């Protein structure tokens, strides 16, 4: 008897919250369990609860990778690009051309976001060193992929640190964006790829903002577990 109908029904249902989404994503990544060269990187803040569940299921170390969207002035939700740790900047050339955004506006947004990126780096790490990525398999995780601009910046920045493999993994993503990442990352895992996709938040019953405190607690919990093994 085919299980396709129930699976199709599941694909149309929103996740309860990010932790629930992370548990489902972890099941799609079971083949990585037990690897000693694996590291899970979360894009804060929303990607952290998702990645926490993946790291816990795979018994892997968890760290954050800081990326900030460059929002269009007056329309902050529209990404004209993104910056990432290590000085990486990725622009959404279609948005830049369409809205005729001058370099000065992009530079100003990048300066503002760089300050916030550095603040979060201090708050989340609390003095801890960033995970070593050279020669390792990196699972880059967020709570979803819409345009993918922040994830593109993350992939580019991580690639500069010479990992052996980059796997972009999300609970839900826009079909075109998930397909595009097949040419950007070494592997892409989009647990759900709904045809009618308009925003990541529509696929979560609870999409409330993840707090800095929650990020710190989840990172500390995984670090404590790691030290005890």
Which of these, 135, 93, 83, 144, lies nearest to 114 by C-alpha position?
Answer: 83
Note down the domain range covering 30.
Answer: 16-65+125-228
90 lies in some domain = no
7 lies in some domain = no
pLDDT at position 78 is 83
pLDDT digits (tens, 9 = 90+) for 67-80: 998 998 888 878 89
pLDDT at position 102 is 95
From CA 151, how far away is CA 184, in angstroms rounded?
10
Q: In CATH, what number is assigned to the domain containing residue 180?
A: 3.40.50.2020
21 lies in some domain = yes
Number of domains in the chain: 1
- Per-residue pLDDT band at 3 (split at 50, 70, 90): very low
Per-residue pLDDT at 48 exceeds 50: yes
Rounded to two decimals, the pTM is 0.87
């Amino acid at each position: 008897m085919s299980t396709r109908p129930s699976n199709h029904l599941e694909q149309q249902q929103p996740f309860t919250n990010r932790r629930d989404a992370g548990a489902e994503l972890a099941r799609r990544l079971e083949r990585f369990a037990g690897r000693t060269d694996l590291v899970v990187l979360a894009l804060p803040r929303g990607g952290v609860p998702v990645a926490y569940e993946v790291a816990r299921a795979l018994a892997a170390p968890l760290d954050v990778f800081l990326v900030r969207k460059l929002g269009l002035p007056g329309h902050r939700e529209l990404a004209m690009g993104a910056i990432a740790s290590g000085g990486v900047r990725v622009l959404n050339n279609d948005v830049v051309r369409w809205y005729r955004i001058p370099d000065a506006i992009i530079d100003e947004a990048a300066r503002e976001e760089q300050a916030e990126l550095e603040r979060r780096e201090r708050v989340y790490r609390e003095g801890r060193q960033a995970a070593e990525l050279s020669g390792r398999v990196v699972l880059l995780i967020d709570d979803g992929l819409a345009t993918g601009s922040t994830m593109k910046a993350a992939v580019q920045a991580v690639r500069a640190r010479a990992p052996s493999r980059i796997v972009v993994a999300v609970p839900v993503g826009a079909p075109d964006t998930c397909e595009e990442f097949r040419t950007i990352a070494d592997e892409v895992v989009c647990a759900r790829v709904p045809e009618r996709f308009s925003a990541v938040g529509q696929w979560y019953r609870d999409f409330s903002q993840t707090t800095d405190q929650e990020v710190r607690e989840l990172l500390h919990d995984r670090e404590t577990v790691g030290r005890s093994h």
